[in-house]
Amino acid sequence: MSDQYIIAGPASQGLAVKLARELSANVISTENKRFPDGECYLRINLEEEAELAGKDVIIVQTTGASTTSDQNQHIMELIMMISAAKRVKADRIRVVMPYLAYSRQDKAFRPGESMFVEELLRWIEHTGATEFYTIDIHAPKVLEVFTIPAFDLDPMAILAQECKSRDINDPVVICPDKGAYDRSRAFAGHFGEGVPVVQFSKKRDYKTGEITMEGDIDVKGRDVIIADDIIATGGTMARAIQIAKVGGAEKIYAVGTHPLLIGNAVFKLLKAGTTEIIGSDTIDSQAMQASMAKVIADAINKNK
Ligand code: R5P
């Protein structure tokens, strides 16, 4: 029997089971609820406390908001899982957080802000994590706050693979802002030789959140793939889709590693003219078409 135990956090149950299959590891579920006063409760479903003692424990919990819980609840559950694993004397506690909530709060954009993502990562390490894995983090630099090994895994090969199974002709990859350029370049490289990348220019008003985007392209008769890390409200993608439409695009694919799809994002993207929304299972959503289980398993296997 394997000495690796995957703990399936409430927010990543499907991905945890797929990861356990990739690693031929044991998988344990969790029990969670909210108390009447709002406090979170989380218990790893152990038969006895000694079960995880001395073991390689891998906790999988994403932290995007879902229809039933917000990101803050998922963070509390994660901290409780790490704390419980430490208390029952797991040897290694590897945290897999496929989507890192608060990752866009990595800078002080306005006076008086906190850069909270750094605090969150310190909390995870302080509670007992011995390794940290995430996927396509918004700003990789924040991982420097860790003193434990931390890995930002690249989903682009798998997302490109997923897109390749569509009937896509004469593709152009659009990158909706400067920050997404490396990601879009990597995606295009995996998609095929010589696939061009066009970068738009996006500005966000930090007070209102409003987006303005500029771009001018001639993609008449070509298919377009817009690649970004996060699709949250869908505002960024929708604007890029509109510009691609004006430029004469045929099919338009909205590709986002983390399809948060908040509120009416799906409506917004389809109405703007997207052919399909393609995302990964870092977030449980209707767009989770590509699984990151193998990418995570490969990274874990590298750190035996
Ligand atoms: C921003 O820099 C990110 O890379 C995404 O473009 C952004 O977070 C998407 O958010 P929304 O869907 O709300 O426009």
Tell me the per-residue pLDDT of 143-177, one tens digit each, with 9 for 90 and over.
999 999 999 999 999 999 999 999 999 999 999 98
State the chain's mean pLDDT as an integer. 95
pLDDT tens across 67-89, in order? 789 999 999 999 999 999 999 99
224 ligand 1 Cβ < 6 A: no
pLDDT at 1: 67
Contacts with 27 (C-beta within 8 Å, 6 or more apart), sequence order: 5, 6, 7, 8, 16, 17, 20
Q: Are 240 and 225 in contact (CB under 8 A)?
A: no
pLDDT at 304: 85
pLDDT at 214: 83
Alpha-carbon distance values, 171 to 94, 181, 213 (Å):
39, 16, 21
- Residue 185 in this model has a pLDDT that exceeds 70: yes
pLDDT at 228: 95
Residue whose CB lies within 8 A of the most ligand 1 atoms, among 182, 210, 231, for a mutation test: 231
pLDDT tens across 101-118, in order? 999 999 999 999 999 999
**Cα(first)–Cα(last) distance of the chain, in Å?**
16
pLDDT at 146: 98
What region does 69 belong to: left with phi over 0, alpha with psi -120 to 50, or beta? Answer: beta
Nearest ligand 1 atom to the CA of 265 is: 12
pLDDT at 204: 84
Alpha-carbon distance values, 180 to 20, 60, 101, 200 (Å):
31, 26, 18, 10
Residue identifier of the C-alpha nearest atom 10 of ligand 1: 232
pLDDT above 90 as % of the chain: 90
pLDDT at 171: 96
228 ligand 1 Cβ < 6 A: yes
What gap in Å lies between CA 244 and CA 218, rounded to an integer? 8
pLDDT at 113: 96
Q: Are 135 and 153 in contact (CB under 8 A)?
A: yes
DSSP characters over 72-139 = HHHHHHHHHHHHHHHHTT-SEEEEEESS-TTTT--S--STT---HHHHHHHHHHHHT-SEEEEES-S-
What does pTM read for this prediction? 0.95
Model confidence band, residue 137 (pLDDT cutoffs 50, 70, 90):
very high
Alpha-carbon distance values, 247 to 14, 105, 114 (Å):
39, 33, 40
pLDDT tens across 239-272, in order? 999 999 999 999 999 999 999 999 999 999 999 9
pLDDT at 256: 97
